[in-house]
Amino acid sequence: MTELTRQQCEACQAGAPKVSEEELATLIKQIPDWVVEVKNNIMQLKRIYKFKNFAEAIAFTNRVGDMAEAENHHPALTTEWGKVTVTWWTHKIKGLHKNDFICAAKTDELFR
Ligand SMILES: C[C@H](O)[C@H](O)[C@H]1CNC2=NC(N)=NC(=O)C2=N1
């Protein structure tokens, strides 16, 4: 399988398929630091990143924002002192699409 970080988000419309249980099991192995959470009945990918101070946290937030614009896929970002919470899901399908796993992997890459 092509590494997630080498893939690009595809245009996704309402009605596009959510990842199956089987696909989820395979994909989550490639982003082991992420957890699947269900919020308002919507499956999401979430990870908390830790930093030394606010400046580093906001700089990372902006890097994630730039990547999101390039992919045309957008996360929820919460920036706090020393901490950024990133949550990915696909609004149009109210759940998880392959795009969310691609972006989660790319977010990890920006942290390294
Ligand atoms: C018009 C544009 O294609 C959409 O609004 C995009 C933009 N970013 C998005 N981001 C996410 N996470 N889910 C979406 O469904 C989505 N849709």
Which residues form ligand 1's pocket by a CB distance below 6 Å?
Answer: 72-74, 90-92
CA dihedral 84, 87, 32, 20 (to 10 degrees): 180
9-32 pLDDT, tens digit per residue, is 999 999 999 999 999 999 999 999
Q: What's the chain's length in residues?
A: 112
Q: Kindly give the distance from the C-alpha atom of residue 112 to the centroid of ligand 1, in angstroms, as a whole number.
A: 26
ipTM confidence: 0.90
Strands (E), the chain: 35-39, 42-50, 76-80, 83-88
pLDDT tens digits for range 58-111? 999 999 999 999 999 999 999 999 999 999 999 999 999 999 999 999 999 999
Count of Cβ atoms closer than 10 Å to residue 42 Cβ? 14
Best probe residue, ligand 1, of 73, 89, 107 (max atoms within 8 Å of C-beta): 73
Q: Which domains, from first to last, does the chain contain?
A: 18-111 (3.30.1360.20)
Give the position, in ligand 1's atom list, of the atom nearest the Cα of 90. Answer: 13
Ligand 1 mean position to 92 CA, how many Å?
7
Q: Which of 103, 77, 78, 92 is nearest to 7 (CA)?
A: 103
